[in-house]
Amino acid sequence: MSTIAHRDQQPDAPLAAAGPDATGSGTPAARALALLRIGFGLTFLWAFLDKLMALGFATGRGPEGEVDRFGDAAWLNGGSPTEGFLTFGADGPFADFYQGIAGAAWADLLFMVGLLAIGTALTLGVAMRLAAASGALLYVLMWSVALPPANNPVLDDHLLGGLTLVVLAAFHAGDTWGLGRRWRHVLLVRRLPVLR
């Protein structure tokens, strides 16, 4: 018995072996990942803006709930984006460490630059590997501030957020509704794939 092969047929390949464009930018899965990427990016950018200017959401509220927009809590006005959370929210085995760095200028600067860079990269769909790695690290650090988590002995939204960022980078979510495809052709990115 002989086998007839047709030229237009291709063997099925696993998604991972098919390369970065395996999901296709027009598929529902690719669009869903793009929406998730943009949503996470805007979340990081919002956290940056709220801490920068004390817009009265997570930053800029007094103990009685009164709003003090653009007040003393704003980083622009000398407020610390890390002091409150690390001083009063730290609990568990790393509490002393986090309380020791609460309000330090270098910690504030790293935190704010991280929020801005991760948020911008995710929103635009560029440097997804760096954004996912640094965003996942930031999430794990925030998870470790208060151990064990309040609602589960191990998992909380920080760990799930970090895992989500890794998935977004692994499936090239920046290629759909983002600048990921153009970004990967930049000479520096071609020479240093970690920037992809």
pLDDT band at 6 (very low <50, low <70, confident <90, very high): very low
pLDDT tens-digit series, residues 136-188: 999 999 999 999 998 999 999 999 999 999 999 999 999 999 999 999 999 99
Q: Where exactly are the structural domains of the chain?
A: 28-195
CA 180 to chain centre: 16
Residue 159: predicted pLDDT = 97
* Listed residue (54, 47, 179) closest to 122, CA to CA: 179
Whether the predicted pLDDT of 20 surpasses 70: no
Mean pLDDT of 24-51: 94
* HSE-CB for 62 with a 13 A CA cutoff: 7
Provide the residue type at 90 as one letter: A
Residue 84 has pLDDT above 70, yes or no: yes
pLDDT of residue 17: 35
Return the pLDDT at 80: 95
Q: Which neighbouring-strand residues pair with 72?
A: none
Backbone angles phi, psi at 16, to 5 degrees: -65, -35
pLDDT at 66: 77
Residue 15 token pair: 């998604």
Q: What pTM value is reported for the model?
A: 0.84
